[in-house]
Amino acid sequence: MLVFLSWMILCVLLGSEASPISCYNDGGDATDWFYIYKLPKEHGRKSPIAGEMYLLLENGSEGWTEGKGSLNDTTGALGRTVGQLYSQGKNTEVAYILYNDQEPSEDFGAKLVENGESRAGHTKGVLLLDKNQGFWLVHSTPLFPATQKTGQYYYPSSGVINGQNFICVTYPLDAFQTIGEQLQINEPNVYDCNIPESLASLLPALADVCRKHLSSQIVPRVKLASNRSVTLTSQGGTNFISFAKGALFDDDLYHAWVAPTLKSDLLVQFWIRSRGILPSNCSLGWKVLDITRINPGDTFTFKASQDHSKWAVSPKAAGHKSGGGWVCVGDINRNEAEEKRGGGTVCLQDPVVWKAYRTAALECEACGGGTVQC
Ligand SMILES: *[C@@H]1O[C@H](CO)[C@@H](O)[C@H](O)[C@H]1NC(C)=O
Ligand SMILES: *[C@@H]1O[C@H](CO)[C@@H](O)[C@H](O)[C@H]1NC(C)=O
Ligand SMILES: *[C@@H]1O[C@H](CO)[C@@H](O)[C@H](O)[C@H]1NC(C)=O
Ligand SMILES: *[C@@H]1O[C@H](CO)[C@@H](O)[C@H](O)[C@H]1NC(C)=O
């Protein structure tokens, strides 16, 4: 009995040691970062998991790999990663923030309401961390994820029909103060959060983002920048650039800011079924083209109108004289209304990630109209 008990205790100790709060892959291993491309529901496809299939790309992999099963599985990369929110439920030393301009409502079968008139950020994400580290997941899925008290992970039906993207990065504790400052600029619609005292004192910006949500409206505070880009270094030492803008920015994220900052032309995938979409724009020295046809990982070809994800890729590889090799995944579309909404994108210059996204972009809208090969 004593042997059994000490074995149990050892398992619990090792278990908590061996399971840091992190992004996880399909095999259940902690991973420094991953990208998920949730494919749209293929027309005429009868598979029971059509619309829940995905491609995965993580640190160390050589390109997109087919996701294991459905995105709804609790044992897949997204289920394991976001599932920590529910499994860590009783742990009072864990902080989290869930934000989404299209928040899940209390009951299942929620109506999908585009928060079109809102001045809050057009931005979606999940943060979960403890005193050591955690992850920041930026994504495009409406009504996702369910609040912590729901008790378990699931992928909502609102995210099935269209393509969606997810970028998860594992960060050390101190990065979360910077991420909190980026979110202050974004003014996200926070619908569930908790920052325990022990972490609030270390991460005042994150605590402010959560407090603003709890205090229902108008907390007077210092005037914030309308936009800021910062380098965020992952737990494993990879540098990402976070671009965050607020309502005051009042311009196109990609053409006015990301392209000139990265010194790169950009091909941009976004939700073209929104109102007032911006045409491709080749002025001011940077070509920013709207993608019209996509085929990630040589799966199948679909139209941008079937894809709700928001990403951008340099047309040229890194090393090209005008910069290149960038991939950005975020939450802002190229449309008039979102020039005046908070939101942003997270960029990485990595040859494998670049190739994975670059080869996905097939056709683009030319500047001045018409369709061209991207
Ligand atoms: C990916 O990240 C995980 C977690 O940080 C790490 O253990 C692993 O060694 C990394 N793999 C590669 C190939 O870099
Ligand atoms: C996800 O799984 C849950 C539990 O098995 C199920 O009730 C739900 O219908 C599934 N959702 C989707 C979108 O497949
Ligand atoms: C804000 O965006 C402008 C481009 O519109 C850029 O020139 C400026 O450097 C950005 N500010 C910060 C703090 O990143
Ligand atoms: C391209 O961007 C410039 C600078 O923001 C803007 O003045 C112009 O109207 C845009 N052109 C098109 C076709 O949208």
Spatial CA neighbour of 53 closest among 130, 161, 203, 180 = 161
Give residue 255's pLDDT.
98
51: alpha, beta or left, given left = phi > 0 and alpha = psi -120 to 50? left
CA distance 125 to 187: 12
End-to-end CA distance of the chain: 67
Domain-wise residue ranges, the chain: 20-107+116-373
Tokens found for residue 253: 């994220």
Q: Which residues are catalytic?
A: 308
If one counts every other C-beta atom within 10 angstroms of the C-beta of residue 208, the result is 18
CA distance 330 to 243: 9
Per-residue pLDDT of the chain (374 residues; tens, 9 = 90+): 444 444 444 444 444 455 899 999 999 999 999 999 999 998 877 888 999 999 999 999 999 999 999 999 999 999 999 999 999 866 779 999 999 999 997 544 444 444 444 668 999 999 999 999 999 999 999 999 999 999 999 999 999 999 999 999 999 999 999 999 999 999 999 999 999 999 999 999 999 999 987 765 555 555 678 999 999 999 999 999 999 999 999 999 999 999 999 999 999 999 999 999 999 999 999 999 999 999 999 999 999 999 999 999 999 999 866 689 999 999 999 999 999 999 999 999 999 999 999 999 999 999 999 999 99
pLDDT tens, position by position, 153-192: 999 999 999 999 999 999 999 999 999 999 999 999 999 9
In this structure, which amino acid lies at residue 310?
A: K
Protein residue with least CA distance to atom 6, ligand 2: 154
CA distance 80 to 166: 14
Tokens found for residue 279: 């045409």
Measured in Å, residue 18 CA sits from the centre of ligand 1 at 14
Measured in Å, residue 16 CA sits from the centre of ligand 1 at 19
Q: How many helices (H) and strands (E) does the chain have?
A: 8, 20
Q: Are 327 and 309 in contact (CB under 8 A)?
A: no
Q: Please provide the size of the chain in residues.
A: 374
CA distance 148 to 313: 34
Give residue 320's pLDDT.
65
Contact 286 CB / ligand 3 (< 6 Å): no
Measured in Å, residue 73 CA sits from the centre of ligand 2 at 8
Atom of ligand 1 nearest to the CA of 58: 1
Contact 235 CB / ligand 1 (< 6 Å): yes
Atom of ligand 2 nearest to the CA of 154: 1
Atom of ligand 1 nearest to the CA of 60: 13
Contact 31 CB / ligand 1 (< 6 Å): yes
Beta strand 266-269 with 288-294 is parallel
Give residue 105's pLDDT.
76
Give residue 243's pLDDT.
98
CA distance 176 to 370: 43
10 Å CB burial of residue 369 (0-12, 13-18, 19+) is: exposed
pTM: 0.93
Contact 133 CB / ligand 1 (< 6 Å): no
